[in-house]
Chain A
């Protein structure tokens, strides 16, 4: 089918792109825009490595049509740092050794971001439920959960201080 002009808002910038209407968002991000932070681990919604935020809501970009995201705000892992400095979750990953090969990390970070926006004070069970469809083959999850917990605490403290 013919390419069409599509406008996508990604990490605060508007991109006008000529793409197939049935192109997958993950392909557009990685191939058309060179935003290779989002990973393809399975291609069938099973691993979460491709998770991005669409209007703040976590979605798997490997099975999402790019054209269906027009007029919505897309955030990828490239967009989570704040004014050039690492977001709490990125810093905590470094401090706690949350990543090994790192392939799953962008997907986890985006899912954690959406959880924190929805529920700033999640219980351990809520964190685990939110992350239940993000898979990691390296860490065994323990260091990663430690990182995530500390990032959530850091963000909460920052919010309290700001008030």
Chain B
């Protein structure tokens, strides 16, 4: 059954201050709607539990991209089109640009926002592994003020986040210290547009010769939340890349994930793909060390 517009209330406060003011008056009652690409699909299908919507689409305070000396502050209301068209993001955070290009088709990219992808909290969301790999931080805002926290750990469990009911994500901060790194992002699915990932990965690293100096590997769709493979990373740091290290890393990566069988894929396939993607990335890193 489709939703009947008569049953719903929609307000558009027009400023960030007014939006958080409304959330503060009755926390949990109003559902923010940004691009609506997740919310409106539920609405059109008659599956949206919340009857009160507050539009935060196009709020100027959420749409800026500030390039600071040490970080980029990306407004949570920026769309995928804004992200993939931004030069500095393309150069320094190419895995986020790729994820933006892979997220649905053009019309979806014109509307869907990074903030919505984070709070919708799908384990398969395409931009979240990139945020994890780049050590992103979030700025949250409410009438109580702003707080800043690492994005890692923001997802408390399947579709659960640390966002308080009266808070909005204001911005995503990307530290500008990965330009010299080798990056490797992959979306494995039936196709890019319109298909949810079976496995997605964003990994970056740096080698001196064949020795791993630093490595970050993040994967999506293989656990209730997007994951950093921290044990695999720890094991890899300081080691020389060779065949036995690659096969040890594959094993360890598979042990760190918690994939499930669902309509899109099987746990077994997801585990095999994760291992292969980790191996593919390490081989790229090794090739870079030889270049």
Measured CB to CB, the residues of A under 8 A from B are 1, 20-24, 27, 43-46, 48, 51, 57-60, 62-65, 67-68, 111, 114-115, 129-134
Which chain B residues lie closer than 8 Å to A21 at the CB level? Answer: 5, 8-11
Q: Quick one: which of B2, B10, B45, B105 contacts A132, CB cutoff 8 A?
A: B105
State A160–B43 Cα separation when bound (angstroms): 46
Which chain A residues lie closer than 8 Å to B104 at the CB level? Answer: 45, 133
Report the minimal beta-carbon distance from A48 to chain B, rounded to whole angstroms: 7
State A23–B3 Cα separation when bound (angstroms): 10
Q: Quick one: which of A46, A65, A111 contacts B36, CB cutoff 8 A?
A: A65
User: What's the count of A-B pairs with C-beta under 8 Å?
Assistant: 99
- Would you call B5 and A63 a contact (CB within 8 A)? no
- Would you call B12 and A43 a contact (CB within 8 A)? no
Measured CB to CB, the residues of B under 8 A from A are 2-3, 5-12, 33, 36-37, 40-41, 43-45, 53, 55, 57-58, 81, 101, 104-108, 110-111, 191-194
User: Known interface pairs A43-B2, A46-B194, A62-B44. Does A67 touch B105 (Cβ–Cβ under 8 Å)?
Assistant: no
Q: Which partner residue on chain A sits nearest B105 by CB separation? A: A133
- Would you call B5 and A133 a contact (CB within 8 A)? no
Report the minimal beta-carbon distance from A87 to chain B, rounded to whole angstroms: 19
- Would you call B108 and A60 a contact (CB within 8 A)? yes
Q: Of residues B33, B40, B57, B192, which shows the largest number of chain A Cβ atoms within 10 Å of its Cβ? A: B40
Q: Of residues A59, A62, A134, which shows the largest number of chain B Cβ atoms within 10 Å of its Cβ? A: A59
Which chain B residues lie closer than 8 Å to A60 at the CB level? Answer: 107-108, 111
State A1–B10 Cα separation when bound (angstroms): 9
Which chain A residues lie closer than 8 Å to B11 at the CB level? Answer: 21
Which chain B residues lie closer than 8 Å to A111 at the CB level? Answer: 106-107
- Would you call A45 and B108 a contact (CB within 8 A)? yes
- Of the A-B pairs whose beta carbons lie under 8 Å apart in the complex, a sample of 19, sorted by A's number, is A1-B5, A21-B8, A21-B9, A22-B10, A22-B43, A23-B5, A43-B45, A58-B106, A60-B108, A63-B36, A63-B44, A68-B36, A68-B55, A129-B193, A132-B105, A132-B191, A133-B104, A133-B107, A133-B194
- Would you call A45 and B41 a contact (CB within 8 A)? yes
User: Known interface pairs A20-B5, A43-B44. Does A134 touch B105 (Cβ–Cβ under 8 Å)?
Assistant: yes
State A62–B53 Cα separation when bound (angstroms): 17
Report the minimal beta-carbon distance from B18 to chain A, rounded to whole angstroms: 16
State A67–B9 Cα separation when bound (angstroms): 12
Q: Quick one: which of A51, A63, A132 contacts B193, CB cutoff 8 A?
A: A132
Q: Quick one: which of B8, B41, B58, B192 contacts A63, CB cutoff 8 A?
A: B41
Q: Quick one: which of A44, A57, A68, A130 contacts B44, CB cutoff 8 A?
A: A44
Which chain A residues lie closer than 8 Å to B7 at the CB level? Answer: 1
Q: Of residues B8, B53, B192, which shows the largest number of chain A Cβ atoms within 10 Å of its Cβ? A: B8
State A122–B207 Cα separation when bound (angstroms): 38
- Would you call B40 and A63 a contact (CB within 8 A)? yes
Report the minimal beta-carbon distance from B8 to chain A, rounded to whole angstroms: 4
- Would you call B45 and A44 a contact (CB within 8 A)? yes
- Would you call A133 and B193 a contact (CB within 8 A)? yes
- Would you call A59 and B44 a contact (CB within 8 A)? no
Report the minimal beta-carbon distance from A85 to chain B, rounded to whole angstroms: 27
Which chain A residues lie closer than 8 Å to B40 at the CB level? Answer: 24, 45, 63-65
Which chain B residues lie closer than 8 Å to A131 at the CB level? Answer: 105
State A130–B108 Cα separation when bound (angstroms): 11
Q: Which partner residue on chain B sits nearest A58 by CB separation? A: B107
Q: A44-B44, A46-B194, A132-B191 are in contact. List 19 more A-B contacts (CB 8 A).
A: A21-B9, A22-B8, A22-B9, A24-B40, A27-B5, A43-B2, A43-B44, A44-B45, A45-B37, A63-B40, A63-B44, A64-B36, A65-B36, A68-B55, A68-B58, A132-B194, A133-B104, A133-B105, A133-B108
